[in-house]
Amino acid sequence: MNTLIISPTYNERKNIVRFVESVFSINPDCHMLIVDDNSPDGTADQVKKLQNRFSNLYLECRPGKAGLGTAYCFGFTWALERDYDAIVQMDADLSHDPKEISVMLDLLTDYDLVIGSRYCDGISVVRWPLRRLMLSYGANVYSRVITGMPIKDATGGFKVWKKEVLESIDLKKIRSNGYSFQIEMNFRSWRKGFNIIEYPIIFIDRTIGESKMSKSIMYEAIFVVWRLRIWKLFGWNK
């Protein structure tokens, strides 16, 4: 299966070498696209050096920090233009285990979207403080109740998509970022009737660098789930 792994980056210089090496050591036949938002720490320069070692590593640099959602939509469009069959999205901070990629790709035989889930089999999160864990878990319960979407980890960022799912979504209409981007993409896929499965993963919080979580991202997620509920009630924006 022709597969592209997409990872947006902003100030991930300290993680990017280890991340790329670990992914390709386990998944050497996959291609990888790094979408960097002009990281001031020189993340893109590190990727350019890695390109001398990995011919299937690609880099796209955007002029500035424009958010996770737009970075993924850029990457999804890039993948569809090059006719990849499967598209993997994952964080570059080593919180997602690349060993799970092959298993999740195998699940595409029977499913259209595979979500690496922290909450479908209990709670599988390492090194998060209790406050952040409760915030994340509560946000997912909130999302599930308001939208009716039967996904226990709607905010997770480790997923594998069949290209047909992304082709069916008008990516230019996606305006959400952060947690809300993940929720909206799942919601649109679910409303279109695609077959979705949650696959249990262990999420390990970053040990190097700073989290991109902010209050604005949380507030956006609170608003977006109500927007999605209205869409569902009136049959809009499938």
Every domain of the chain and the residues it spans:
3-234
Task: Find out whether 38 and 47 touch, Cβ atoms under 8 Å.
Answer: no
pLDDT tens per residue, the chain (238 residues)? Answer: 899 999 999 999 999 999 999 999 999 999 999 999 999 999 999 999 999 999 999 999 999 998 999 999 999 999 999 999 999 999 999 999 999 999 999 999 999 999 999 999 999 999 788 888 988 899 899 999 999 999 999 999 999 999 999 999 999 999 888 789 999 999 999 999 999 999 999 999 866 655 545 456 566 767 888 889 988 888 766 5
Q: What pTM does this model have?
A: 0.92
| Domain at 3-234, CATH class | alpha beta
Strand-strand pairing, 113-117 and 159-162: antiparallel
Residues 61 and 64: their CA atoms lie apart, in Å, by 9
Core vs surface per residue 226-237: b (16+ CB within 10 A) or e: ebbbebbeeeeb
Sign of the alpha-carbon torsion through 107, 104, 202, 71 = negative
